[in-house]
Amino acid sequence: MNKTKVLWCLLLVIAFTIACPGLAAAADPVIVGVLHSEEYTYAEMMKNSYDMALATINSSGGINGRPLKLVYGNDRGKQGPGLKAIKQLVDKDKAVMLVGAYQSSNAIFMALAAERLNRPLLVCTAADDRVTQREWKNVFRMNPPAGEYTAGLEEYFLEDLQPKSMAIVYENSPYGTGGALRMMWFCRENDIEIRKIIPYHKEKAKTESTGSAYFQRLLSPLKAEPPEIIFMVSYLDDAALLVKKINELKLPSLLVGGAGGFTHQKFINKVGPLANDILTASLWAPQLRYQGTIEYYEGYIGKHSVPPDYHGAEAYSALLIVADALRRAKTFQPADIREALNQTNRMTPFGPVQFRAYKNYQRQNKLPTVVLQIHNGQFDCIYPLQHASAKFTAKPGWRKP
C-alpha cells in the first residue's frame, strides 16, 4: 500500500471516530461505586463476593460489551467518612450508581447523600427500616428491613416451639432496636410474657474484659426468673460475649439470635461448643436452592475455604442486579438507571428481587427468612420445613412446652 492510500485510511479512521465518539469509547469501563465498611466483620466476605460476581459479569460480556469496574469507598461505619466516600465515588470516580451500605446507623445518612447527589443507590445489607421509608427516588434495597428479619422465626415459634416467656437483649442501635421492637410486638400479639427488655450500648462492650462485667450486671437479674427464650440482636463480637456470659450464669433458657452476628462461621469459632443448639434467624441459607445458590456457595468455599453466610450472598446477588439494570438502562443517566431498577424482576442466589411499595416502604425487595440451628459446630436449616437439613434439638435442661 502506497503512502497516499495509508494517509487516506488514517483520515477515514479519524473522521469516523469524530463522527461516532460513543463507539470509540465502547471499551471504557462502566464504573460502579461500592460503599464498604472495611473495619467490620463481614467486610472481607462481602468484598470477596463482590469480586466473584464481578468476574462472572465481565466473563459474560460485562455491560453490553463494556467491562464493569468497581471502585470502593470506605465509609468506616461513620457519618463523616460515609458522606466523604459517596462524594468521592460520584464526583471524582464518576460512578454511574452505588451499591453496598453495611452499618445501619450510617446508611441513613449515605442514602440521603445519594438522593441529594442524584445517584441511584442499591442497599444490600443495612437494615434500618427508615432507609426505604423516606420517599427517596434514588434509594433501593435488596435485603429485608430490620422489622422483617424475624418473620420466619416468628412463624416457627408459633408452629412448633410455642414459647410462653422471653427476655429480649439488644444493641441500642437502629439495627438492634428495629429487631427488638418487632419481637416485642410479636410477644404482645401472641400472649408471650416478656420477662426483661435489656438494651445495651456497644461502646461499653468493646473489649471482653470491660464487656464481661457490663453484661454480668445487665444479665444477672434473669437468674431470678429465667425465661424460656433469650432473644438477642447483636453483631459478632457482642453476640459471642453474650453467649459466654449467659452460660456462665447457667441460665437454662434457649438462646436465639436475630441474625446479624449469629450467622457467621466466626461466631461458632469464637464460642466453640457453647454455640451448639443456638437458634438464629437468617435471611438466607444454601438449602434454599435458589437459582445459582449452590454454585455461589460452593464457589466461595472453593476460593476462600470457609462457608459464606447471608452477607456474602447479598453482596454477590446485589452486583448481579446492578449489572442487569445497567444492561437494560437506555443510558447511564440516573433517570434511566432508576427506571431499569424499578422494572427489575429477577431470581438471584439470594432469592427473587423485585422493588415495590408496601406498608411504609418504597423500592423495597421482600423476601422470606429462615431459621438456622447450630449442630456439632455447623449451621443447619430447620425452618421452613421443606428446606430443612436437620430437625430442632432441645438444649440440655430445656424442654419444649
DSSP state letter for 160:
I
Q: Is 70 helix (H, G, I), strand (E, B) or coil?
A: strand
C-alpha cell at 19: 463522527
The per-residue pLDDT for 333 is 98
The per-residue pLDDT for 10 is 47
pTM, 2 dp: 0.87
Write the pLDDT tens digit of every residue in 206-220: 666 677 889 999 999
Q: How many CB atoms lie within 10 A of CB 64?
A: 12
Q: Give 18's pLDDT tier (boundaries 50, 70, 90).
A: very low
Q: Is 125 helix (H, G, I), strand (E, B) or coil?
A: coil
Say which CATH number the domain at 245 has. 3.40.50.2300
Long-range contacts of 7-10 (CB under 8 A, 24+ apart): none
Tell me the C-alpha distance between 213 and 301, whole Å: 37
Tell me the C-alpha distance between 33 and 92, whole Å: 11
Is 5 a residue whose pLDDT tops 60?
no
Same domain, 248 and 378: yes
Same domain, 303 and 241: no
* Overall average pLDDT of the 182-204 stretch: 94
C-alpha cell at 144: 429485608
CA 36 to chain centre: 12
b/e for 381-397, b at 16 or more Cβ within 10 A? bbbbeeebeeebeeeee
* Overall average pLDDT of the 160-175 stretch: 94
Same domain, 262 and 306: no
Cross-strand bridge partners of residue 280 = 257, 372
E strand or H helix that includes residue 295: helix 293-304
Same domain, 97 and 206: no
Percent of the chain at pLDDT > 90 equals 81
Cα atoms in the 13 Å half-sphere on the side-chain side of 390: 16
The per-residue pLDDT for 9 is 47
Q: In which residue are the cell numbers 440482636 written? A: 233
The per-residue pLDDT for 102 is 86
Same domain, 317 and 196: no
Write the pLDDT tens digit of every residue in 222-253: 999 999 999 999 989 999 999 999 999 999 99
Same domain, 127 and 200: no
The answer to whether residues 331 and 324 touch, using CB atoms and an 8 Å cutoff, is: no
Nearest to 132 by CA among 368, 320, 365, 335: 365
- Give the residue, 336 or 7, on which the prediction is more confident: 336
Same domain, 224 and 252: yes
23 within some domain: no
Total number of domains constituting the chain? 2
Nearest to 300 by CA among 237, 350, 373, 365: 350
Is 8 a residue whose pLDDT tops 80?
no
Tell me the C-alpha distance between 204 and 213, whole Å: 10
| Mean pLDDT, all residues of the chain | 91
Write the pLDDT tens digit of every residue in 84-134: 999 999 999 999 999 999 888 889 999 999 999 999 999 999 999 999 999
Q: Which domain, by its residues, includes 221?
A: 148-282+370-387
CA-based radius of gyration for the chain: 24
Write the pLDDT tens digit of every residue in 136-162: 999 999 999 988 999 999 999 999 999
Same domain, 259 and 322: no
Is 26 a residue whose pLDDT tops 80?
no
Same domain, 267 and 381: yes
Same domain, 261 and 217: yes
12 within some domain: no
Write the pLDDT tens digit of every residue in 32-78: 999 998 877 789 999 999 999 999 999 999 999 999 999 999 988 88
Q: Is 333 helix (H, G, I), strand (E, B) or coil?
A: coil
The answer to whether residues 325 and 345 touch, using CB atoms and an 8 Å cutoff, is: no
Nearest to 325 by CA among 348, 294, 299: 348
Nearest to 163 by CA among 228, 257, 233, 258: 228
Q: How many CB atoms lie within 10 A of CB 378?
A: 15
